[in-house]
Amino acid sequence: MMRQGLVVSWSMAGALLAGAWVVSVATAQQPTTAPGASAVAETRPAGTAATQPAHDAVLVLIGDKTAITQAEFERYFYGGAPADFHANKEQFMRELVERRWLLIYLDENPELVPESVIQAQKEHIKKREKLNTDEEFTAFLKKVGRTPESWRMQVLLANGRTALSNRGREKAKNADLLKKLYDDNPADFNGTEVSARHILIGSAPYDTPAEREAKRQKALKLREDLVGGKITWDEALKQSTCPTRLNGGKLGYFTRHHRMMEPLAEAAFKVKPGQVGEVLETFMGFHIIEVLDRHEGRRRFEDSKGDIKLWLEREPYLNAILEMSRKYPAIGVQPPYEPPPRRVTTRPSPLGRPTATRPAGRLSPRLGTRPSGLHITPRK
């Protein structure tokens, strides 16, 4: 788990990229309310006891479009041990923000998941469960722990990811496009690898613009002192918030696509071995990257077509999230508060498959998202 949040983890029809979080962070005056939300304090005073906020307390604004509230975080978290909350709240919030961006994208591009698709799935469940009316369908969802709104969201997310993947697969059928991508950027697909290490000044999605800017300045000063020889890498590494600091900040060898989060891989491939790149901002915070080595690939086009097709399949999803992150930047308001404990029990799935049983005090499955964590590790 050394490279948590940096290494690619694919699931949900191969469409998701863990850690692809480039955003345009607003630096203007931060509003403390969102459409339909109550006013909340921008930050909790340091050293004061946490009190349970109202459920409509805003945690993160998504541009001027919408907001993520404490109530939504609690539904996503499902309750659990305090250690689970403190260890995973940043990752949960990143998943919530990414999911919200995808829902906004689908709302602005309704042709991806037409209403007929949602209604067809609804009718399929009604037929399977022998439900005659919409009222009976709603009652069935309630029995399995869902609402019509949460079920609809689940259908949108699943079908939206599939639709974006299908869009990429269609592009991948164009043989001329595959050849052009290889010829224009051979190092992206011919097996070229770089080895790098990094220092991360981490920032959570719920950090306020002022807090995030302070961390940016910290990273800029740290890089300046490092490049200027005022401090060594090991000294600078002590300020890193990434678990890789226990391994010298090393990320191992990785290719341009598929193994490492896209913004970090893109930046590393532009830096020559032995050089330290400019401070890179991602949704995880601020990275100082040093490239240690580079191995030029020799793989021919015919042997690289599989990687190119895989990249084209995943690219529409990444572009959709990037577009929404720039259009509706995530603006932190305040961190989530620890939800009250809730017992999680086994219940049937509305899709007819049993859900995993999790004992109280453990994280439970979350609706409509990918599993977090690292499942593809760069070669050392």
Could you read off the pLDDT of 229-255 as tens digits, one per residue?
Answer: 999 999 999 999 999 999 999 999 999
Q: Does residue 204 share a domain with residue 63?
A: no
**Cα 268 to chain centroid, rounded:** 20
What is the domain count for the chain?
Answer: 2
Distance separating alpha carbons of residues 93 and 79, to the nearest angstrom: 14
Q: Does residue 324 share a domain with residue 261?
A: no
Q: Is residue 112 part of a domain?
A: yes
Q: Report whether 367 contacts 78 (CB < 8 A).
A: no
Q: Does residue 243 share a domain with residue 203?
A: yes
Q: Does residue 162 share a domain with residue 264?
A: no
Domain coverage including residue 332? 31-38+54-185+301-368
pTM of the shown model: 0.79
Q: Is residue 3 part of a domain?
A: no
Q: Does residue 305 share a domain with residue 164?
A: yes
Q: Does residue 308 share a domain with residue 180?
A: yes
**205: Cβ–Cβ under 8 A, 6 or more apart, which residues?**
60, 90, 93, 94, 97, 283, 330, 332
Q: Kindly report the CATH number assigned to the domain that includes residue 312.
A: 1.10.4030
Return the exposure string of 61-80: e unless at least 16 CB atoms fall within 10 Å of the residue's CB, then b: bbbebbbbbbebbbbbbbbb
Cα separations (Å) of 106 from 101, 113, 155, 160, 247?
A: 9, 7, 11, 7, 40
Q: Kindly report the CATH number assigned to the domain that includes residue 284.
A: 3.10.50.40
Q: Does residue 278 share a domain with residue 210?
A: yes
Q: Does residue 211 share a domain with residue 153?
A: no
Q: Does residue 119 share a domain with residue 84?
A: yes
- Tell me what pLDDT residue 29 has: 35
* 268, 295, 322 - which closes a domain: 295
Q: Does residue 223 share a domain with residue 247?
A: yes
Q: Is residue 222 part of a domain?
A: yes
Q: Is residue 15 part of a domain?
A: no
- In the chain, the percentage of residues whose pLDDT exceeds 90 is 68
Q: Does residue 342 share a domain with residue 264?
A: no
Return the structure tokens found at 109. Answer: 């591009």
Q: Is residue 8 part of a domain?
A: no
* 295, 314, 347 - which closes a domain: 295
Start-to-end CA span in the chain (Å): 14
Q: Is residue 308 part of a domain?
A: yes
Q: Is residue 266 part of a domain?
A: yes
Q: Does residue 362 share a domain with residue 218?
A: no
Distance separating alpha carbons of residues 123 and 114, to the nearest angstrom: 15
- Tell me what pLDDT residue 338 has: 86
292-321 mean pLDDT: 96
- Tell me what pLDDT residue 342 has: 62
* 295, 328, 346 - which closes a domain: 295
Q: Report whether 53 contacts 339 (CB < 8 A).
A: no
Q: Is residue 215 part of a domain?
A: yes
Return the structure tokens found at 248. Answer: 């010298």
Write the single-letter amino acid at 6: L
Return the structure tokens found at 41. Answer: 């304090």
Does 373 score more than 60 pLDDT? Answer: no
Residue 108 or 20, more confident = 108
- Tell me what pLDDT residue 48 has: 32
